[in-house]
Structures are given as C-alpha cells and as structure tokens.
Chains A and B, each alone.
Chain A
Amino acid sequence: MYKIMNEWNGKTLGKEINNQIADSVVDSDNDSVFIDSQKIYEVMKFLKETSGFSFDLLSSITAVDYIDHFEVVYHLKSLITLSKATIKTKVGFGRQNQPEIDSVYSLWKGADFQEREAFDLMGIHFNNHPNLKRILLWDGFPGHPLRKDFVTNSQSIIEEENEN
C-alpha cells in the first residue's frame, strides 16, 4: 500500500541532466551529481518542473567548507515519483571573500530560512534571495562561525596564553 522511495544514482541522473542542459554536470559519483555553479538555477528548475523528476520537496540545503572551496549541498525529494537525489555544487574557489550562487527561493519557498542559515553561518551569498540577512546570529557579528578559518574564543585564549 505504501511505496518506498528510490534513490537516484548520481551517474544516471548526471547523464539525464547533461542531455537536457549542455555542460551543466561537472562530475558525478554513485551518490551525488556535481553541477556547475553558474547553471544551478537552470538545473534546479529543470529538476522541479520536468515530469519524471518532479522534485517538489526541497529537503535540505547546506554548505561545507573544504578549505580551498565551499560546497553547497541540496537534498531533493519527490512525492510524485517517490525518489530522492543529492545535488552538489562547488563555489568560492581560492577563498574569495564572498562565494556566490543563485538562490532557489523562487522555486521552493522552503529555501528561505535554509539559505539564510547558510549565509549566516557559512557566508555563502545567495543571489536573488529576497531577504538575505543573518538568521541565528545578530547583525554585525564578526565573520561566519562554521568556516574552518573562524577563530573561536577558546582558541584565541589558548593562543594568548601560549604567547605569554
């Protein structure tokens, strides 16, 4: 009676996307597809609106700091085709101060708070987001704490003690 959700193989999904939107897939492995960060909005629109994919539920958006670049990770689910997929994209190579990517807010309203959180804690700038401001921390907080180069209070105290 209840159907079980399938997981898209990253390589299969990558091929399907690349056939429709040329040069959009950079890389793919068994779990996820890596998309060119310039084409993320186009690909997401395709995945949401094409029947056969119909990813109508945006589960989660998050970002990871890999020192030399950031990775924005999207987890998509479809209640229509009962499937799930992981989409990743790499931004901010060479530690630019402000890594940029297009917002998917106009496709899924559920991106609202999650993109604000990624902006607040990781410093990813989402273009075209209508209300991109800090969500958990206060305005004027110095830096983005989930970045690996963020110095926490305890670390700075230890460093000071070592200097003395």
Chain B
Amino acid sequence: MSIKSEPITINLGPQHPSTHGVFRMRVTFDGETIIDVEPIFGYLHRGSEKLAEERTYTQVVTLTDRMDYVSSMLNNQGYILAVEKLSSIQPETRGVWLRMIASELQRIASHLVAVGFLIQDLGAWGTPLTYAMREREKILQMFEMLCGARITNSYLRPGGVFMDAPEQFWNNLTSFIEEFPSAIDELEKLLTSNEIIFSRTKDVAVLTPEQAINASITGPILRSTGVQWDLRKNDPYDFYDKVEFDIPTHNAGDNYSRYLLRVQEMRESLKIVKQCVDFIEPGPVRPHHDEVPFLLRPPKGDCYVAIEGSKGELGFYLVSDGSISPYRWHVRSSSLINLTLLRDMLIGTLFGDLFVTFGGIDINMGEVDR
C-alpha cells in the first residue's frame, strides 16, 4: 500500500538563527525531500548605493564596513583600490603591506566564522565553534590595536591606511603566526576526519565547474569544483604578485570540499601574512594630504575593480562626475551571486541538509542586501 502525501510549503526565516542573518526561503517539501526553494531577499536592505551618492569618497569607506561585516577589511580594500584607480593615486609601500596583512587576517577570520558555523549548522553545538571564535577573537584584538574598532574597521584610506600599527600589534602578530597553525590542526583533528561530518557533507549539494562558472559563482565554491581561479593570482592587485602562495582546489564540489578548502586557504593566508611581515619596512603609511586631499575629486570617468574577497569576486564599480561624492557606486556582491544556484543545489536533498548547504555557501546578509 502506498502512502498518499501532498507537498507542503514552509517559510524559513527571516528570523531563524540558522539563516546567518535575515534570509528567508519559501521551501516546498514532499515528505522530507525538498522539491522547490524560493529565496527572498531584502530584509537588511539599507540602500548603501544610494547613500554613497550623498557622501564623500572617504566617508563611503564606512558604508563598505557595513556590507559584509565579517570581512570589513577586504571590503575596504576593494573600495579603496577602486578609488585609487579612478583618481590615479600611488599608494605608499608601507601602507600597502599593512593593508595586505589586515586583509589576509580578515580572510582568516571570515573563514573561521564560515567553518565554525558550518559545524553549528550540522547540529554540533558549541565546541568547534568556540575553538574557531577563540582564534577569531585574537584577530579582532589586533584590529582593535590597528584602528580602534573590531568589526567596522574603516582602517583603509586612499593611498594606504589610516595610521601605522603600534608596537604591541607586532608582538601579538608574531605570537599569532606561531600559534595559529597548531590551532588549525586542533580544529581539523575535531572535524576533518569526523565520521558524522563525512556522512552529512560528502556528496551533498554537488556542483560541476560548468554550472558554477555559468552562474557566475566565484571564490571558495568555484575552487571546490576544481577550477583554479583566484584574482590574487590571475589579476594581481596590491603586492600579491610579490608574495608566494598556492591556490588549493578540490574536485568533488560538495559541502565537504568547501569546508576543507576554507581550512587550507587559512593556512595559505597565514603564509602571506608571514611574508608581508618580512617585507615591510619603515616609512609613511599614506601620502601627505597635500598630495591626496581629504576631499577627493576624481576626474570624470568610471572604473571597475574586483578583488578576491573571502566569499568570491568582490567588485566595485565607481562612476565619477568630478564632484566630491561618487555619481554612482555599485557593488558586485559575491554573497548575492553565489546564491544563484541555491535552488538547484537544494532540490532533491533532505531538510537536514538545507542549512548545511546554506552554511557551506557562506553568505553574509549585509552583503546580499547591502
């Protein structure tokens, strides 16, 4: 005898702790199998792009902090690079090294959040997340030393950074570089060969490279399908062409390889930080304000600058009309675009896999809605 069933539609979110913010999905289930998903955005929309049109170029830096609030430094970096390109500013060498250190530390912090919460989404309450958060805390403390803020940094300025790092920062950074590899080992010992994680994440939500490229998916998700594509290597900005690091890839394209890839990327980022510390030399951290005034007036024109953010290609499109504020500011948000295939990835999987897949994509609602 077959059991008669009929599909049921449920709203997940916006107020749901596993949606990493205020994300809403209208999910249709047949039993426990997902047959349709409709993502609904906009609960955190603050109109950043419109707000920027009434602010000066330096003030817009504060808006970028509030986009993806777990990788503020990377957002700062992308925006500042766009401003520098638009107004042809030559950044100071020490400033560039400092902002590379800051943004690679931020990438580690962002990946720690991604990895920690992925495990939380699996139902493992507490332990692995606190291990990840403990390490992130050290990074946030270093940011506090750099600029006085932990989350909304606004540390970067056109031509370099806001101010030089204090002495204590270097002590903390040295001990972080020494201790962090063993902290990742500890985290990996708990997770990488954990049988529950194997059975819950392997072969779940598989993407092929063709699918991912066609849907403009970038960052760790693209690399987990086996495509070696990283803008730090393929389109180098700042001094990424002077440091040595590898781009890890995996071929499976499932949730497990996304997790593993982030762990490996943290090790690579640490490698970059180490080299930056070796390369950095005393000097000014940003040009004098006679050269780069506080009120920038870039010449008429437009530019698009993309950097490798923690979640994928983070692009900034700036149009200037010669005045003190941007005529148009557009953010190519990797979090939003990486969700394009969410529906295809989820259909046919079980309810329990929904939040694991969602956590594996690693989005941030501040950047999705802007």
A and B physically associate? yes
Does A75 contact B315, Cβ atoms closer than 8 Å?
yes
User: Does A62 count as interface, using CB distance less than 8 angstroms?
Assistant: yes
Q: Which residues of B contact A57 (CB under 8 A)?
A: 213, 216, 218
Closest residue on chain B to residue A58 by CB atoms: B216
Q: Determine whether the beta carbon of B214 is less than 8 Å from that of A62.
A: no
A113-B50 Cα distance, complex, nearest whole Å: 19
Whole-angstrom CA separation of A56 from B228 in the bound complex:
15
Residue of B nearest to A80 (CB): B213
B210 nearest CB neighbor, chain A only: A56
Stretch at the interface among B130-138, B233-241, B347-355: B233-241
Does A26 lie at the interface of the complex (its beta carbon under 8 Å from any beta carbon of B)?
A: no
Name A7's closest neighbour in chain B (CB-CB).
B235
Most A CB atoms within 10 A — which of B216, B247, B327, B339? B216
The interface residues of chain B lying within 8 Å CB-to-CB of A112 are: 215, 340
Verify if A93 is at the interface (C-beta below 8 Å from B). Answer: no
Give chain A nearest CB distance to B11 CB in angstroms: 15
Structural contact, A110 and B215, CB atoms closer than 8 A: yes
Are B369 and A136 touching (Cβ within 8 A)? yes
Number of A residues with CB within 8 Å of any CB on chain B: 35
B residues 301-325 touching A (CB-CB < 8 Å)? 302, 304, 306, 313, 315, 317, 319
Please, which residues of chain A bring their CB within 8 A of the CB of B370? Answer: 136
Partner pick for A79 among B213, B319, B369, CB 8 A cutoff: B213
Measured between beta carbons, the chain A residues less than 8 angstroms from B341 are 109
Is A65 an interface position by the 8 A CB rule? yes
- With the chains together, A65 CA to B304 CA distance in Å? 17
- B330 at interface (Cβ–Cβ under 8 A)? yes
Contact partner, A136, options B42, B230, B247, B315, Cβ 8 Å: B42
Whether B234 and A82, one on each chain, are in contact in the complex, defined by CB atoms closer than 8 angstroms, is: yes
B49 adjacent to chain A (CB < 8 Å): yes
List B contacts of A110 (CB < 8 A): 214-217, 337, 340
Q: Which residues of A contact B282 (CB under 8 A)?
A: none
> On chain B, which size bracket covers the interface?
35 or more
Residues of B with C-beta under 8 A to A4 = 233-236, 241
A121 touching B49, Cβ below 8 Å: yes
A135 to B369, CA, bound (A): 9
CB of A108 within 8 A of CB of B236, answer no
Does B336 sit within 8 A of A, measured CB to CB? yes
Bound complex: CA of A111 vs CA of B340, how far in Å?
9
Q: Are B214 and A59 in contact (CB under 8 A)?
A: no
Binary contact readout A110-127 vs B (1 if CB under 8 angstroms, 0 otherwise)? 111110010001000000
Distance of A2 Cα from B234 Cα, bound (Å): 7
Q: Which of A58, A59, A137, A152 contacts B306 (CB 8 A)?
A: A59
Contact between chains at B304 and A86 (CB < 8 Å): yes
**Which A residues between 124 and 162 are near B, CB-CB below 8 angstroms?**
134-138, 145-146, 152
User: CA of A57 to CA of B306 in the docked complex: distance in angstroms?
Assistant: 13
* In contact, B42 and A73 (Cβ under 8 angstroms): no
Are A145 and B214 neighbours in the complex by a CB distance under 8 Å? no
How distant is the Cα of A61 from the Cα of B328 in the complex, in angstroms? Answer: 14
Tell me which of A65, A79, A145 contacts B227 (CB under 8 A). Answer: A79
Within 8 A of B (CB), among A56-71: 56-60, 62, 64-65
Does any Cβ of A come within 8 Å of B45's Cβ?
yes
Task: Verify B340–A73 contact, CB threshold 8 A.
Answer: no
Q: Report yes or no: A137 in contact with B45, Cβ–Cβ below 8 A.
A: yes
Distance in angstroms from B208 CB to nearest chain A CB is 13
Which residues from chain B contact A82 at a C-beta distance below 8 Å?
234
Q: Assess whether A138 is in contact with B304, with CB atoms less than 8 Å apart.
A: no
Report yes or no: B319 in contact with A152, Cβ–Cβ below 8 A: no
How far is it, in angstroms, between the C-alpha of A79 and the C-alpha of B214 when the chains are bound?
A: 11
The answer to whether A60 touches B317, judged by C-beta atoms less than 8 angstroms apart, is yes
Taking each of B41, B227, B236, which has the highest tally of chain A beta carbons within 10 Å of its own beta carbon?
A: B41
Q: Report the nearest A residue to B306, measured CB to CB.
A: A59
**B304: which A residues are within 8 A, CB to CB?**
59-60, 73, 75, 86
Given known pairs A113-B336, A113-B337, A113-B340, the reply for A64 and B216 (CB within 8 Å) is: no
Nearest-Cβ distance from residue B361 to partner chain A, whole angstroms = 13
A-B pairs with lowest CB-CB distance, top 4: A110-B216, A2-B233, A60-B332, A62-B330
28 residue pairs A–B, Cβ–Cβ below 8 Å: A2-B228, A2-B230, A2-B234, A2-B247, A56-B214, A57-B213, A57-B218, A59-B304, A59-B313, A60-B304, A60-B306, A60-B332, A62-B330, A62-B332, A65-B328, A75-B315, A82-B234, A108-B214, A108-B216, A110-B216, A110-B217, A110-B340, A111-B216, A113-B340, A117-B336, A134-B42, A136-B42, A138-B42
If A4-B234, A58-B216 are given as contacts, then 6 extra A-B residue pairs at C-beta distance below 8 Å, sorted by A number, are A2-B230, A110-B217, A113-B336, A113-B337, A146-B50, A146-B328
Residues of chain A having any CB pair with chain B under 8 Å: 2-5, 56-60, 62, 64-65, 73, 75, 79, 82, 84, 86, 108-114, 117, 121, 134-138, 145-146, 152
